[in-house]
Structure 1
Amino acid sequence: MSQETAYVTAAGLRLEYRWVGPGPQAAPTLVLLHEGLGCVSLWRDFPDRLAAATGCGALVYSRAGYGRSQTIALPRPLDYMQREGEDVVGAVLDALGVESAILVGHSDGGSIALVHAATEKRRRVAGLVLLAPHVFCEAVSVRSIAAARREFEVGELRARLQRHHGENVDAAFRGWCEAWLDPAFMQWNIEGHLPRVTAPILLIQGEDDVYGTTAQLEAIARGAAGPVETLLLPGCGHSPYREQPDETLAAAARFVRALVGR
């Protein structure tokens, strides 16, 4: 299928997406779900490399308010990750004909992947690769997001993000940070979804992640119904696929190949 960015309408939203490798009728599909400041382009070449290493297709889409997808009204609801996992991910997969999916989620995208795996009715999720996911709010996350807000307001972060989000830059950043910095968000918790996640999970996190501790991984391993593998990367922060791409790719590819028998 084409590697060019295209658009799909799902759950009433016009969303940009990119497809790499074989289509959904030819192979299982890696579904990449981006972080709280991510979008299609910020995955860089990781989807291409993972598709090539596994023989799977790769679908990457930008959530509403990110990248070149349609914008949103602020503020985002504090349960925005649950809403995405329950209402939007499945609609995107339906619209693009995906029948067998391995969810690859980074940060917020990992949380969304867990919610979708717990609530989807089609039983098409064969596995999950979760990079620095979170299932509850930690004080370290709040401190780091507050620091990111300062960098966005007075530093270079806004300009860097605008290259990827264009006119959505404020919706993307403020929708994310204002939700996490709302005092009520300290009560956010999706651990109750974990017993309904039966597919195998690979967890990858950097030991130097400033947005979350290994308590997140421990909670997932303790709560999920399916088998869970954990990989901690020394000298790595919050973005394993960017900071240690080769190690992250090798682990993810091995896990996916075992799932799909390749």
Structure 2
Amino acid sequence: MTDPAASIDTTRFVELNGAASSVRIEYQWLNPERADAPIAVFLHEGLGSIALWKGWPQMLCDRLNCRGLVYSRPGYGRSTPRRAEEKWPVEFLHLQAQKVLPALLDALHIDARERARMWLVGHSDGGTIALLYARAFPESLAGLAVLAPHLFVEPMTVEGITKAREMYETTSFREKLEAYHDDVDSAFYGWNDAWLNPAFLHWDITEQISSIKRPLLAIQGQDDEYASMLQLDKIAAAVGHAQLVKLPQCRHSPHRDATDAVNDAIAAFVRTHQQ
């Protein structure tokens, strides 16, 4: 069996130019030699980066016979860090879906034909970004698979993120995260401050995603420490064609806790809907 890490392409960087400033995004292509294959775009979790995915994107791309695009959002990994004084707004996930991801696709010259065949694979915050992208750009993807996405804020979510802050400031958690981010405080406090903003308690995208038309697979672990199964149930109520997978003995990272089950579910889902 091929080592998943062995075929990962060298990390590259691209500049995204905005109205106020530009940011540098680190990205990697997986299986770039498959020039005619569909692309799977991987959207990481709230403390994630290219490095924190480890070998799973390569494993899934090999299973799907597709190319992969993995990148670190601004503030994460080796991408441009968040300024120390910068506080992300309540709409920070919308901005990633509606501004940053489309700008990255433009910068990498991924055209309309390729986007129409593109699959989004998002975990946690990345899953939410995938849902918001599918709502905003219905013609610019083939479908999406989301792992432990957030639609609204639950008390257990706030409790889990508060505990994460305590761990970050009092244990070796910060040191462990340093392996995945050039500026670990940028990544952690950008995410943590946004989610613990009192205004964020009223954040809810359930009604917004009801317009999603593309195939949607939603996966969550039954032991998720950050959210209840109400998140998936709300997806099913809002998007009637959504397919749900609820995994036993699985926490907030299904691709790590139940890798085979997740890969099987995504492969079957894509095979069913692939054009």
Question: Which residue number in structure 2 is paired with residue 206 of structure 1?
Answer: 221
1:19 to 13, 29, 40: 29
1:125 aligns with 2:141: yes
Map 1:1-262; keep pairs closer than 5 Å.
Answer: 3-11=9-17, 12-22=22-32, 25-73=35-83, 74-98=86-110, 99=114, 100-120=117-137, 123-166=139-182, 168-224=183-239, 227-260=241-274
- In structure 2, give the amino acid aligned to 1:200: P
> 3-state DSSP class of the match of 2:185?
helix
> 3-state DSSP class of the match of 1:81?
helix
Instruction: Please say which of residues 247-256 and 111-120 is displaced more in the overlay.
Output: 247-256
TM-score by length of 1: 0.94
Question: How far apart in 1 are the matches of 2:51 and 2:12?
Answer: 13
Aligned length: 258
- Deviation at residue 25 of structure 1 after TM alignment: 4.6
Question: How far apart in 2 are the matches of 1:210 and 1:18?
Answer: 30
Give 5+ residue unaligned stretches, structure 2. Answer: 1-6
TM-score by length of 2: 0.90
Is the contact made by 2:8 and 2:58 (CA closer than 8 Å) also made in structure 1?
no
- Deviation at residue 125 of structure 1 after TM alignment: 0.9
Question: How far apart in 1 are the matches of 2:33 and 2:122?
Answer: 20
Are residues 64 and 24 of structure 1, via their aligned partners in 2, closer, same or farther at CA, if it must alter by over 3 Å?
farther
- Deviation at residue 23 of structure 1 after TM alignment: 5.9
Q: What is the alpha-carbon root mean square deviation over aligned residues?
A: 1.6
Deviations 1:67-94 (A, max 9, x none): 0000122211121001100101111112
Instruction: Please say which of residues 238-247 and 145-154 is displaced more in the overlay.
Output: 238-247
Which 4+ stretches in 1 moved above 6 angstroms?
none
- Deviation at residue 124 of structure 1 after TM alignment: 2.0
Name the % identity. 41
Instruction: Please say which of residues 11-20 and 83-92 is displaced more in the overlay.
Output: 11-20
Question: Which residue number in structure 1 is paired with residue 3 of structure 2?
Answer: none
Question: How far apart in 2 are the matches of 1:23 and 1:110?
Answer: 27
> 3-state DSSP class of the match of 2:272?
helix
Deviations 1:107-132 (A, max 9, x none): 000111111111127x1211110000
